[in-house]
Structure 1
């Protein structure tokens, strides 16, 4: 949502994507979903296939490889 907010405020898609840690193509896809479906289009719907979201424990998210 932050990347889309940056675009709506006038940032380029490239700058907004970079600021949010994604590539421009991913942001482009999300902008199209937002334009077509609003905020609901940004949710991860695992009923359409794809990998389910990962859930990390606090220990996993702070450990270094």
Structure 2
């Protein structure tokens, strides 16, 4: 990962979501809406133009455990 890149992790277990940026905890909580309604939104608070380039999106699904 380059120094100017960020890594966003969204972990979902049942109705509990945990969000990490660069592996640091940002937020977690229980949601009551369908998990298919989740999206990623970015916002910048600097005065210069900001762009976001989603180079990779990887979805993981846990394997069934016996």
Structure having the larger proportion of residues in strand: 2
Give TM-score, length-normalised by structure 1: 0.25
Structure with bigger RCO (C-alpha 8 Å, 6+ apart): 1
Structure having the larger proportion of residues in helix: 1
